[in-house]
């Protein structure tokens, strides 16, 4: 099975943020040691589940949850398990998501020594009232300190998350957060607009209708302000929600957007291998931890006991998915890559859709293919709808 990336899910958080519906559990942090052991067992079984792997991993991504709740030794143990099964390329990008409320310079130094070379900091905002609205565990001073500490620990490849469209968030708060990132030389920023997810405290607080509090226009104005300011400062808008200085694009996410294969380990992690997308059957941390035992006989665990294939993608599905993911990126859909992968031209597969999107000003032709226009980036869901 050819895959060059591995995603590791760490489903623990100190406390649930008010907007979050990610798979993370706030009350079972004491289960981390057992979880790490189970993760290593799952990684060790990959050859049995997915066949012998000859390809090198060029990206490992610790996402969550809050991976920075792990100790540096636990991160190293997981990376060592990966190295026993796969080879990691010399320049393998190893990213760890970190919450500012869980790190200090010493811990970050430990992560670097363990092999982590890219840090994704969940800053969201440097305004205390915005952070309180979001229910983050850290305030603005802790978030600034996290950036100072990351730099002191020697990290150069740092990404900061920034959230927009939050009730009570002013344009000034957005501007001063961005100014700080630029002053500190942060080379990569991920931008997200707040989405009210059903079942979250924020959904209840705002009656499920964010537009009553932040209009689409306000949200788009913040987004355009950030995108334009970053462009003026040498960042490329290389994906709808991501901007980076040249050389600092997220390698891991680029593999997702190129619809490439990836392994996934841990509770709730989703893999894409061959034409199959799937996830772990376990629903809780406890179930995950015990799922490799097979009644005390780990050697007898089989793939179907552990994973659930969610969908098998037909070639047509794969072509549509390729377009949808490629249109998220600044480069767009590259005709040569499409032809090489599917043995037919992109025009023969989607000529009508492309024509319509070009007429509507959502897509433009480039030298190498097709990409979203600025208007298309704002109305991306309309374009994606053509490939569902
Ligand atoms: S830190 Fe991230 S994963 Fe954890 S609760 Fe907050 S938003 Fe969710």
Residue-wise pLDDT for 270-292, tens only, equals 999 888 899 999 999 999 998 88
Output the pLDDT for position 249: 96
| Alpha-helical segments (H) within the chain | 32-44, 46-50, 72-85, 105-114, 128-134, 140-152, 171-183, 201-205, 216-232, 251-257, 285-290, 303-306, 315-326, 335-342, 346-359, 374-378, 380-384
pTM of the model: 0.94
CB-neighbour burial class of residue 77 (10 A; exposed 0-12, middle 13-18, buried 19+): middle
Which has the minimum average pLDDT: 51-65, 232-246, 365-379?
51-65
Average pLDDT on 111-132 reads 98
Give 72 Cα–ligand 1 centroid separation in angstroms.
20
Q: How far apart are CA 256 and CA 261, in angstroms?
A: 8
Return the residue matching tokens 């897509």: 363
Indicate if ligand 1 lies below 6 Å from the C-beta of 65. Answer: yes
Q: For a pocket test of ligand 1, which of 11, 14, 26, 64 has the largest count of ligand atoms closer than 8 A to its C-beta?
A: 64
Indicate if ligand 1 lies below 6 Å from the C-beta of 63. Answer: no
74, 37 contact by CB (below 8 A): no
Tokens standing for residue 17: 């943020």
Domains of the chain: 5-257 (3.80.30.20), 319-387 (1.10.10.920)
Give 162 Cα–ligand 1 centroid separation in angstroms.
14
Output the pLDDT for position 37: 94
Output the pLDDT for position 299: 64
- Three-state DSSP at 104 gives coil
Any bridge partners for residue 229, and if so which? none
Output the pLDDT for position 302: 82
38, 291 contact by CB (below 8 A): yes
Give 22 Cα–ligand 1 centroid separation in angstroms.
7
Tell me the pLDDT tens digit for each residue of 135-158. Answer: 999 999 999 999 999 999 999 999
Indicate if ligand 1 lies below 6 Å from the C-beta of 22. Answer: yes
In the structure, what pLDDT confidence band is assigned to residue 185 with cuts at 50, 70 and 90? very high
Give 355 Cα–ligand 1 centroid separation in angstroms.
41
Q: For a pocket test of ligand 1, which of 9, 17, 202 has the largest count of ligand atoms closer than 8 A to its C-beta?
A: 17
In the structure, what pLDDT confidence band is assigned to residue 298 with cuts at 50, 70 and 90? low
- Three-state DSSP at 260 gives coil
Average pLDDT on 222-228 reads 96
Average pLDDT, the chain: 93
Output the pLDDT for position 115: 98
Supply the DSSP symbol for 167: T
Output the pLDDT for position 23: 85
Return the residue matching tokens 């694009």: 249
Kindly state the percentage of the chain with pLDDT values over 90.
84
Average pLDDT on 194-200 reads 93
pLDDT at residue 88 tops 60: yes
């Amino acid at each position: 099975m050819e895959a060059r990336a591995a995603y590791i899910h760490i489903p623990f958080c100190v406390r649930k943020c008010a907007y979050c519906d990610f798979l993370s559990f706030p009350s079972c942090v004491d289960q981390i040691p057992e979880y790490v052991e189970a993760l290593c067992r799952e990684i060790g079984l990959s050859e049995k589940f997915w066949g012998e792997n000859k390809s090198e991993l060029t990206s490992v991504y610790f996402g969550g949850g809050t991976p920075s709740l792990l100790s540096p030794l636990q991160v190293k143990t997981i990376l060592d398990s990966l190295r026993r099964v796969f080879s990691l390329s010399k320049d393998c990008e190893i990213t760890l998501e970190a919450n500012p409320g869980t790190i200090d310079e010493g811990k970050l130094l430990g992560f670097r020594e363990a092999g982590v070379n890219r840090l994704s900091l969940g800053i969201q905002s440097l305004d205390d009232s915005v952070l309180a609205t979001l229910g983050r565990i850290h305030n603005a001073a802790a978030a600034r300190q996290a950036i100072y500490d990351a730099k002191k620990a020697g990290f150069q490849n740092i990404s900061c998350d920034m959230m927009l469209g939050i009730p009570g968030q002013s344009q000034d708060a957005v501007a001063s957060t961005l100014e700080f990132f630029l002053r500190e030389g942060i080379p990569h920023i991920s931008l997200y607009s707040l989405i009210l997810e059903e079942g979250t405290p924020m959904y209840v607080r705002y009656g499920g209708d964010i537009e009553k509090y932040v209009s689409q226009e306000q949200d788009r104005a913040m987004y355009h302000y950030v995108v334009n300011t970053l462009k003026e400062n040498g960042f490329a808008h290389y994906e709808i929600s991501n901007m980076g200085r040249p050389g600092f694009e997220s390698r891991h996410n680029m593999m997702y957007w190129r619809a490439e294969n990836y392994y996934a380990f841990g509770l709730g992690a989703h893999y894409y291998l061959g034409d199959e997308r799937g996830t772990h059957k376990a629903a809780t941390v406890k179930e995950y931890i015990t799922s490799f035992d097979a009644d005390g006989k780990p050697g007898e665990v089989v793939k179907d006991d552990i994973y659930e294939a969610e969908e098998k993608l037909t070639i047509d599905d794969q072509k549509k998915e390729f377009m949808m993911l490629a249109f998220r990126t600044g480069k767009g859909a590259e005709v040569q890559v499409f032809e090489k992968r599917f043995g037919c031209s992109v025009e023969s597969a989607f000529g009508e859709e492309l024509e319509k999107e070009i007429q509507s000003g959502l897509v433009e032709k480039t030298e190498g293919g097709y990409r979203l226009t600025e208007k298309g980036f704002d109305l991306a869901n309309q374009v994606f709808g053509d490939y569902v």
